[in-house]
Amino acid sequence: MEVEERLEELTQMVEQAKAVPLSASCMVNRAQVLDLIEDIRDALPSSLDAADQLLAERESVVAEGRREADRIIAEAREEQFRMVSQHEVYLVAVAEAEALRRETDDEVTRMRQETDDYIDAKLASFEIILNKTLTAVERGRDKIRAESSMQEFDGGDEPLPE
């Protein structure tokens, strides 16, 4: 840091300068002070150029950081939108699945009722046929018993005339 060294040297020169009696002023060698000031001026442009370059680099880094942050925010918003869309699709699918399940349950209940009604009707028809059959069997047995009783009563093995 050449500028800092020169400023320190100038400070020491002023601090060590002879004081003017009855005054706050001091006496310094004009040529030496002017030389130091000239040296500082010569050193400043390179320091200022370096500082300007550093500021430009800083601004470039900050701008790049902002662009990167904007890109990340945009990606995050897209991801949020995608996730919300997927969630909405999921909710619609769940609602449709629930409606389909209810519809299927209703259809199964209806079909079960129809099947039960069909089986009950067939069983009722079968019951009627069985009752008719039982009635015919009972009549046939009664007839056979009556014929047997008559034959025993008549005492013969001859069948009764019809």
SS3 18: strand
pLDDT of 161 = 55
For the chain, the distance separating the N- and C-terminal CA atoms, rounded to the nearest angstrom, is 152
Structural contact between residues 6 and 32, judged by C-beta atoms closer than 8 angstroms:
no
SS3 57: helix
What does the pLDDT look like over 108-149, one tens digit per residue? 999 999 999 999 999 999 999 999 999 999 999 999 988 888
How many Å apart are CA 121 and CA 161, to the nearest integer? 44
SS3 23: coil
47 pLDDT above the threshold of 70: no
Tokens of 76: 């995050």
pLDDT of 19 = 84
- The pLDDT confidence band at residue 36, using thresholds 50, 70 and 90, is confident
pLDDT of 162 = 54
pTM (whole model) above 0.85: no
What does the pLDDT look like over 54-107, one tens digit per residue? 888 899 999 999 999 999 999 999 998 888 888 888 889 999 999 999 999 999
How many Å apart are CA 113 and CA 106, to the nearest integer? 11
26, containing H or E segment = strand 26-27
Could you tell me where the DSSP H helices lie in the chain?
2-15, 30-154
